[in-house]
Amino acid sequence: METLQVDEKEDSKRLDVVLASHQKVSSRSEAQRIIKSGNIKINDATEKISPKLKVKKGDLIEFSVPPPASTDVLPVAKPLDIQYEDDYLVVINKPGGMVVHPSAGHYDDTLVNYLLHHTILSDKDPVRPGIVHRIDKDTSGLLVVAKDNRTHEKLAKQFFHHTIKRIYEAIVWGTPEQPVGIIDKPLGRHPSDRKKFAVRESGKNAATHWKTVLKLKYLSLVECRLETGRTHQIRVHLTSIGHPLVGDKVYGRYRNYADKLSEETVRLLKQCEGQALHAKSLAFHHPEKDEWMTFNSERPEYMNVLIKAMQEELKKSG
């Protein structure tokens, strides 16, 4: 049985948030699994305990970590773009269009399925073995995946404390007024569409640093560095300042410049099947080798083709 006493800075916070800060709990999702399993009590009481419960300073939380639930994730053979691998972890360059882990409608065509055919993965979350962090289906780029539970826990702590460095490239509509900036706006579930997220005062704190890398015809290439890793963070934050991502059918929309651009460029813009977003850089402290590791990946070719086309359009316009 593990114990945790709520201190002053944790007063009035949600139970799952406080529990996730314990060294034996790797993530908030695992904290919720512990709470829902019933293997927890607060001040010797076991009734009416839920993840949303607000704890108070001095509360004594006692809990045990239950064994993983059984699950059947099918290993599937598929070539992967492996950037680095050792006995503890693997760094993958995920293509756009690939789902990260099994979910409704995607049971055998995800990164997890393909990784399980290649290697063993941690089972801290048996539904999402090995997955410490995610990127959206249509976002391409780098992820680190854990092979064992100890590595998983240590990487999860780095994400929790925001010490892992992540940089993304995005092609957005328009050009921001300033060359650099930070969007510091809380994010939460959209009030009417539960599949979307929105800037909400009641949401979780979220911060995105951005800078304009290239000014293109009607578009810009923007680089984003995350302080936090909220779901859809870059997509929602950039939309909130008037610069949605090209190809984002959830938070953006196609802007019709058919009368101002060549037919080929218009075709390229309309062909974008998902948001033009690439996780280009990932850096973290290796959990076992005691060294800082940095990985970089080239943006996908469709983004390069679109950038080149818009540069040509810019030249034509003088």
CB 61 within 8 A of CB 18: yes
- Residues 78, 141, 299, 85, CA torsion sign: negative
Contacts of 143 (CB under 8 A, 6+ apart): 91, 92, 94, 100, 111, 131, 133, 134, 135, 279, 282
Whether residue 147 contacts residue 88, with contact meaning beta carbons closer than 8 Å, is answered with yes
Largest CA distance in the chain: 74
The order of strands in the sheet holding 60-63 is 2-5, 60-63, 40-42
CB of 281 closer than 8 Å to CB of 296: yes
Residue 136 catalytic? yes
- 27 near 149, Cβ under 8 Å? no
Q: Which of 16, 59, 136, 148 is catalytic?
A: 136
Decide if 217 contacts 314 (C-beta within 8 A).
Answer: yes
What is the number of other CB atoms lying within 10 angstroms of the CB of residue 103?
A: 12
- Burial of residue 302, with CB atoms counted within 10 A of its CB: 0-12 exposed, 13-18 middle, 19 or more buried: middle
How far is Cα 29 from Cα 160, in angstroms, rounded to an integer?
Answer: 12
Hey, which residues does 45 pair with through a beta bridge?
42
Which residues are catalytic, by number?
136
